[in-house]
Amino acid sequence: MKVNKEIYVQQIFSSIAKRYDFLNSLLSLNLDRSWREFAVQLSGASTDSSVLDVCAGTGELAAAYAEAIGQHASVLSTDFCFSMLAVGQEKFKNRNTSFFIPIEADTLSLPFQDDTFEIVSVGFGIRNVSHLQKGISEMIRVTIPGGRVVVLEFTQPAVPVIKHAYYLYFKKVLPLIGNLISKNRHDAYGYLPSSVMEFPDCYQLKMIMEECGLVNVSYYLRTFGIVAVHVGSKR
């Protein structure tokens, strides 16, 4: 990629921020909510959990955590794209917004002390950081000993027939519909499939998380293997 990845990603997500939630639901056939709920379930979040959601976007994963934790939930959400956080803040303004506390921050340099959160989670965002290992290491740094790091991300299915259909939809149909509806000039929905294809597969991501220091790392596949949730614990 010719331009700096961080700048490119910020441009992309700023340009689609207002249509982001609508297109996520449309292009995932409304399965995205169930994927986030599954990730929250695997995190083991409870009524007294402290949660940090990085690469939080418009706050949908934070909302899923809040629903699981209850009315007193307080979930910190960071993203380096202010436009995405602003859309989330506007979206939740007529609700009890104590769960959505947006902080503009880069996942590669989180503004928190070591050992702060019981759960540090990311949904469909870790592949967008410019240095994967450093991003995961930062997530681990701010997690308390015994706490959990949760990564929800697209992956590549292994079954040949499903893989072929997935590639056809992901590479041809999704970019066409996404760019058309969002009226995007940065080919944001062309970037999405390419970023997934370049991202480590489930086993590779598991090894990277372990190399960064997590233990008991497991991954769980959803929807014919197109989405995976990785969960690991900090020593």
Cα-Cα-Cα-Cα torsion 219, 65, 31, 189, nearest 10 degrees, comes to: -90
Range with the lowest mean pLDDT among 1-5, 63-67, 184-188, 197-201? 1-5
Please spell the DSSP secondary structure of 123-134, one letter per residue.
Answer: ES-GGGSS-HHH
Would the CA dihedral through 123, 88, 187, 25 be positive or negative? positive
Average pLDDT, the chain: 93
Q: What is the pLDDT of residue 96?
A: 60
**Residue 1's pLDDT band (cuts 50, 70, 90):** very low
Q: What is the pLDDT of residue 187?
A: 82
The per-residue pLDDT for range 209-232, each reduced to its tens digit, is: 999 999 999 999 999 999 999 999
Q: What is the pLDDT of residue 125?
A: 96
Q: What is the pLDDT of residue 97?
A: 61
Q: Are strands 117-123 and 75-79 parallel, antiparallel or unpaired?
A: unpaired
Q: Which strands sit side by side in the sheet containing 51-54, from one edge to the other?
A: 100-104, 75-79, 51-54, 117-123, 143-154, 227-234, 214-222
Q: What is the pLDDT of residue 46?
A: 92
Structure tokens at 124: 């469909």
Give residues with Cβ within 8 angstroms of 117, minimum separation 6. Answer: 50, 51, 52, 76, 142, 143, 144, 147
**Residue 100's pLDDT band (cuts 50, 70, 90):** confident
CA distance 47 to 59: 19
Q: Is pLDDT above 60 for 167?
A: yes
Q: Is pLDDT above 90 for 43?
A: yes
CA distance 80 to 184: 20
Yes or no: say if 121 and 39 are a contact pair by the CB < 8 Å rule: yes
The per-residue pLDDT for range 201-212, each reduced to its tens digit, is: 999 999 999 999
The per-residue pLDDT for range 52-85, each reduced to its tens digit, is: 999 999 999 999 999 999 877 779 999 999 999 9
Q: What is the pLDDT of residue 2?
A: 43
φ and ψ at 150, to 5 degrees? -120, 130
Fold of 5-21+29-154+201-234: Rossmann fold (3.40.50)
For the chain, percent of residues with pLDDT exceeding 70:
97
Q: Is pLDDT above 90 for 192?
A: no
Q: Is pLDDT above 90 for 183?
A: no
pTM metric for this prediction: 0.94
What secondary structure letter does DSSP report for 201? Answer: -
